[in-house]
Amino acid sequence: MQITQEINKPIMLSVKETAETFGIAQHYARQLALSGAVKAVRVGRGKILINYQSVCEYFNSSVLNTSNATAPTRIQPVPVKL
């Protein structure tokens, strides 16, 4: 699918198209929309359209939270009586 954008016209993708475009699972794309993490609208009977630019911004601003990671510990010798 080729994505072109006219001035002031948002690009809206289906859940399947969003998943294919960004290389994510359809379930994850749907959850991003339903949670409000990205802009999306429901049209018709259950069909969800997701804003392309909103997904781009979401992934561009996402970072891994490494502050909670524990520092690797050094291996300590265990005293053994022989």
7 within some domain: no
Asked if residue 46 is part of any domain, the answer here is yes
pLDDT computed for residue 69 by the predictor: 55
Tell whether 5 is covered by a domain: no
Q: Whole domain around residue 48: which residue ranges?
A: 12-60
Contacts of 44 (CB under 8 A, 6+ apart): none
Whether residue 78 is contained in a domain is answered as no
The per-residue pLDDT for 5 is 60
The candidate with the shortest Cα–Cα distance to 62, out of 33, 78, 35, 38, is 38
SS percent in the chain: helix, strand, coil, step 5? 35, 15, 50
Q: Output the pTM of the full model.
A: 0.70
The pLDDT, as a whole number, for residue 6 is 63
pLDDT at position 67: 63
35 assigned to some structural domain = yes
- The confidence score (pLDDT) of residue 71 equals 59
**Ordered mean pLDDT values, 10 residues apiece, the chain (82 residues):** 71 97 96 96 94 96 69 70 71
